[in-house]
Amino acid sequence: MTKKVTEVELGIIRATEPAESGVMDNAATTSLMKLLSTLDRRLLQDIMTEQRHEPGDIIFSEDDPGNALYIIWAGLLAVVKGPFGRPSEVFFRVPGDVVGEMALLENKPRWASLVALEKTRLLRVERDGFHKLLRAQPAVSLNLLALLSARLRAVHEMSRAEIRSDQEVLRQISSLMDENEQLMALQRVRQETSDLIVHDLRSPLSNMFSVLNMLELVLPEDVLVANRELLDIAKLAHARMQDLVNSLLDVSMLESGELTLDIGPANLKQLIDEVVALASFSIDQRSIVFQTRFAPDLPLVMVDEDRMRRVLTNLIDNAVKFTPRDGRVRVDVTTTGTEVCISVADSGPGIPVADRQRIFERFAQVQRVGMRRTRGFGLGLAFCRLAVEAHGGRIWVEPGDGDVGSRFIFTLPVARHL
């Protein structure tokens, strides 16, 4: 019978702040998953056993024999060090992660317990099966070595980062003598925080990609064919989230002038149609009436397509996000002959007059009329402003039709006039 933690212990584990040293190297994990996806299915079926667990199940306990490793197929698990009621460390593990390989390789007892936090599906590989896998595919050994090396490197870098962070705090305490210095220090800290967020976002993104690869690994061929469209949509969503992470990185480079744009002629209607297609799920879920209107004979614009696609994604996502159910969002594209004007209008709460300039500043937090303050670091619109200005355009916000909602407008040079 499977052992379980109590409801109280399960609540304590879920509420525990995860240890940062539990961060895995996603490149190595993804490489391992890609390699497994290329192996013969009969071999994998011979060495892998599927297990299903309910919330609170203890997959293995601290000091149990390390006789197997686990590949997480679905669900969230916690690696718990110490008593369940007072854990000293907790690491969360998600689909695509490999768990228990250290004890298996070293032939030593488990150093921590593994607990299911939700309904979970695992692929278990016993020691004999693992050795069989290594004999059949020696490259797995190299991938595991890379994974272990990356984990050690991550722990080392985290330790160095903590030392640097402590030193920075001490330096700030001694140097922040007036309000101006305090504001500058706050901006530096916020930049470091946003960089850390970008780093942490890469982890779940990589795990998402690993899960998609795993599905292609374990699903029967007929199921794969029947669900190919769904898998392709999921991969498109992964690419879109990766674009958002890249936008965060671009803000600093745009501000410093270090980013070189890949400028070329582009079809603006095609770009907008692509972004709207990716947002169609959210639009349909909220029953929003979405309209696009393009001027006839719309000229090409000179843009960096990747960055401009992210600008459009930010503005359209914001419009959908702040528009109530059954509301309206409209994208209009017009031209004056020398420039193209793009507007994104929503029917949500407006933006106070005093905030219409500040909303494009880095780290600006603006509370929309009648809404609670939303979470975020205020980098999306800052990226839009920096990217549009780098293209020689302008961006601003004004009230929507009849003073309802907001209309974000930006301009771009026509290709022949750049």
Instruction: Find the CATH number of the domain harbouring 363.
Output: 3.30.565.10
CATH number of the domain that 160 lies in?
Answer: 2.60.120.10
Within a domain: 6: yes
Sheet containing 98-99, strands listed edge to edge, beginning at the edge strand earlier in sequence: 48-53, 120-126, 68-74, 98-99
pLDDT in tens, 61-82: 999 998 888 888 889 999 999 9
Within a domain: 221: yes
Within a domain: 90: yes
The whole-number pLDDT of residue 202 equals 65
* Co-location of 106 and 17 in the same domain: yes
The count of domains in the chain is 2
Within a domain: 249: no
Nearest to 154 by CA among 21, 287, 16, 313: 21
Within a domain: 101: yes
The whole-number pLDDT of residue 66 equals 86
* Domain interval for residue 44: 1-225
Domain's final residue, options 195, 225, 255: 225
The whole-chain average pLDDT of the chain stands at 79
The answer to whether residues 399 and 393 touch, using CB atoms and an 8 Å cutoff, is no
* Co-location of 189 and 319 in the same domain: no
* Co-location of 403 and 326 in the same domain: yes
pTM of the predicted model as reported, rounded to 2 decimal places: 0.48
Give pLDDT < 50 ranges for the chain: 21-25, 27-28, 375-377, 417-418
Nearest to 290 by CA among 302, 275, 303: 275
The whole-number pLDDT of residue 329 equals 95
* Co-location of 51 and 165 in the same domain: yes
The whole-number pLDDT of residue 217 equals 78
* Co-location of 186 and 37 in the same domain: yes
* Co-location of 290 and 348 in the same domain: yes
Within a domain: 210: yes
pLDDT in tens, 123-182: 888 888 777 777 766 666 566 656 656 655 665 566 666 677 767 777 777 666 666 666
Within a domain: 251: no
d(CA 54, CA 75): 10
Within a domain: 328: yes
